[in-house]
Amino acid sequence: MNTNHDPRSIPELLKTFANDLTTLLRQEMRLARTETSEKVSEMTGAVGLLAGAAVLAIPGLVLLLEAFAAMFVANGMQEHWALLLVSVFALVLGAILFLVGYGRIRGTNLAPDRTLHQIRRDAQVAKEQVK
User: Could you report the per-residue pLDDT of 59-93, keeping only the tens digit for each?
Assistant: 998 999 999 999 999 999 999 999 999 999 999 99
Tallying the residues shown for the chain, one arrives at 131
Q: pLDDT band for position 33 (50/70/90)?
A: confident
The verdict on pTM exceeding 0.75 is no
Q: Quote the longest CA-to-CA distance of the chain.
A: 97
**φ/ψ (deg, to 5) at 100:** -65, -45
Q: Picking from 56-60, 91-95, 104-108, which range would have the lowest pLDDT averaged per residue? A: 104-108
Amino acid identity, position 31: L
Rounded to whole angstroms, how far apart are CA atoms 41 and 102?
17
Residue boundaries of the structural domains of the chain: 23-130
pLDDT band at 4 (very low <50, low <70, confident <90, very high): low
Give the phi and the psi of residue 113 in degrees, each rounded to 5. Answer: -60, -45
Q: Cβ(90)–Cβ(61) under 8 Å?
A: yes
Cα(43)–Cα(22) distance, integer angstroms: 31
